[in-house]
């Protein structure tokens, strides 16, 4: 099941920059356009918890 387009318009990264998220329906993830954190979608519910996100600034190589 796909996420509602209206919901996708208002979702943002929970970090302080609140950047928009890009939806990947195949992987069932949302990716922050600024910090590159990847948030999973479980049972059609976006899990926007920083502690459970993959990637992001702390995992980037210089």
8 Å CB contact between 21 and 33: yes
CATH of the domain at 27: 2.20.25.10
- Does the pLDDT at position 62 exceed 90? no
Task: Give the pLDDT confidence score for residue 57 in this predicted structure.
Answer: 67
- Does the pLDDT at position 44 exceed 80? yes
Write out pLDDT tens, residues 6-40.
Answer: 999 999 999 999 999 999 999 999 999 999 999 99
CA distance 40 to 10: 17
Task: Give the pLDDT confidence score for residue 1 in this predicted structure.
Answer: 66
Task: Give the pLDDT confidence score for residue 56 in this predicted structure.
Answer: 77
Which residues form the domain of 29?
5-59
**Tally of structural domains, the chain:** 1
8 Å CB contact between 50 and 37: yes
14-23 long-range contacts (CB < 8 A, ≥24 apart) are 14/48, 14/49, 14/50, 15/50
């Amino acid at each position: 099941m796909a996420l509602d387009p209206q919901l996708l318009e208002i979702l943002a990264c929970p970090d302080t920059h609140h950047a928009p998220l890009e939806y990947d329906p195949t992987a069932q993830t949302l990716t922050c356009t600024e910090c590159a954190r990847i948030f999973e979608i479980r049972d059609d519910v976006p899990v926007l918890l920083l502690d459970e996100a993959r990637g992001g600034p702390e995992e980037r190589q210089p």
